[in-house]
Amino acid sequence: MKFENPYAIFGREFACECGRTHRVAPREVLYAPAAALRAPEFCARAAKGRRAAAVMDLRTRRVAGEAVCDALSRAGWTVQVIVVPDPAPEHSPVCDDLTRDRIAAEMGPVDLAVSVGGGVMTDLVRWVTFERKIPFVSVATAASMNGYASASIAGTVKGVKCLIYAHAPDAVLADPQTLRDAPFELTASGLGDVLAKPISTADWRFNHMVLGDYYCPLSVGIVADIEPLYIERPEGIRARAPEAMEALFQACLLTGVAMNIADTSAPASGGEHMISHVLDMMCAVYGGEHDMHGRQVGVGTILSAELYRRVLAVESPVFVEPASSTDRAFWGPLHDEVEPHYQGKVERLRLAAERLAEGGTWDHVRRTLAPMLRRPETLRDCLAHAGAAYRAEDIGCTPDRLKRALLHGHEIRSRITILDLARLVGVMPAAADEVIEQWAS
Ligand SMILES: [Zn+2]
Ligand SMILES: [Zn+2]
């Protein structure tokens, strides 16, 4: 399936070669100057009535929130403005159950909500509107992550980070100038998040080839045409050049779409994301603060690419029996939360090892995955030249802390990633010190 341009996929329904019929949400995307002022027409197509709640934080209110509210009021909408306060000075709001409950309590009877902001605002509004069964429209203020078009929420419930299935916005609106003017670390974070695609895709393909998991080639190739616009021209991101910024924003949207149509985060979240999630979770156990999602994912992507290089270089692997449980001492109070995820995978790991040992399978895996991947040098140079985070110190952690995340990333999800595969063939944990030394210090 080919579309005439990257926006043409939105709102389409089609039979895919993967065997499923995909219905692509959001229905509409507008990337144009003064996009916020056109919110009323998109809201009118999404909602039955004319009562809207506009949800923003103190920063996004200035950037686009006021414009959205004015435009809606002028178009005859009743608008309730909800400004989510900062939880502490210098700390912007987070996406957790407490903030969700506060917004839900404040929000009056409305027909639709508009989120104005990046990942946190979008996810909070996604959450509240999903529970209320009303549509929402997303006004994006930064190309900071791939969640705009997505249906899932990265939220914290009772202190534990979860992926919660909800719904995609009806429309996504973005003003190129607003994205350009966003704090650069947000843009750099978006770059880290979409750079993960080759790794997560290879991880997914591995699960498909060896264990027969569902796999959709369209979800895999969805950013193939635009990827070179930022991977090969990172200076464009650094300079916030229009072409590079639009490619990045499209990639943020389309990697979200890939997850929606595949009904799993697998096409855009592999081993590199696990490293970032563990860094987040370590804060609950060891204190400290984590960095932005995409910045950590970018660093995790380089490490994962290096693991892939080492794994695929192994010619005749001797498969190692997977560990039967997770590291209780490392996880401390989170152990009971983590352990069931890993238990869901132990059998799959054994089965994978068995199948890989069958004649010819390993070579087939090597031949198939190698061309899907990017070299760690390419990824590092891309992040470095774009002015994004690429070393441990850039994401505010010591090489040792990053190494511990690398060593425990395989324990938190039931999906097999490069972090598992590296253990199956005996590359990890032995290579951890070297990989960190080589790529993150
Ligand atoms: Zn991500
Ligand atoms: Zn498909």
Instruction: Please tell me the number of the ligand nearest to residue 222's CA.
Output: 2
> How much distance in Å is there from the Cα of 30 to the middle of ligand 1?
22
Report the alpha-carbon distance of residue 28 to residue 42 in Å, rounded.
8
317: closest CA among 169, 237, 197, 424? 424
Percent of the chain with pLDDT over 90: 92
If you measure from the C-alpha of residue 316 to the centroid of ligand 1, how many angstroms do you get, rounded to a whole number?
Answer: 33
| Dist CA 198 CA 205 (whole Å) | 10
The rounded distance, in Å, linking the Cα atoms of 223 and 251 is 6
- Ligand closest to CA 190: 1
Residues 215-231 pLDDT 10s: 999 999 999 889 999 99
Distance of CA 64 to the CA centre of its chain: 23
Whose CA is closest to 222, among 200, 197, 244, 190? 197
Dist. CA 43–CA 23, nearest whole Å: 20
Say if CB 131 and CB 308 are below 8 A apart: no
Which residue reads 């380089």 in tokens?
A: 302
Give the Å distance between the CA of 17 and the centre of ligand 2: 6
pLDDT digits (tens, 9 = 90+) for 284-311: 899 999 999 999 999 999 999 999 999 9
**How many Cβ atoms are within 10 Å of 33's Cβ, its own excluded?**
10
Whole-structure pTM over 0.85, yes or no? Answer: yes
Task: Look at residue 237 and tell me whether its pLDDT is greater than 90.
Answer: yes
Tell me which residues have their CB within 5 A of the ion that is ligand 1. 193
Mean pLDDT over all residues of the chain?
A: 95
What is the Cα Rg of the chain in Å?
Answer: 21
Cβ contact 240:187 at 8 Å: yes
Domains and CATH numbers, the chain: 13-181 (3.40.50.1970), 190-214+264-439 (1.20.1090)
User: Residue 81 is inside which H or E element, if any?
Assistant: strand 78-84
Local confidence band at 158 (pLDDT 50, 70, 90 cut-offs): confident
State in Å: Cα 414 to ligand 1 middle.
17
Q: In whole angstroms, give the CA distance from residue 439 to residue 310.
A: 13
Distance from Cα 164 to the centre of ligand 1, integer Å: 14
Question: What pLDDT is recorded for position 157?
Answer: 85
**pLDDT single digits (tens) 168-216:** 999 999 999 999 999 999 999 999 999 999 999 999 999 999 999 999 9
What is the chain's length?
A: 441
Measure 18 CA to ligand 2 centroid, in angstroms: 4
Q: Is the pLDDT of residue 160 over 80?
A: no
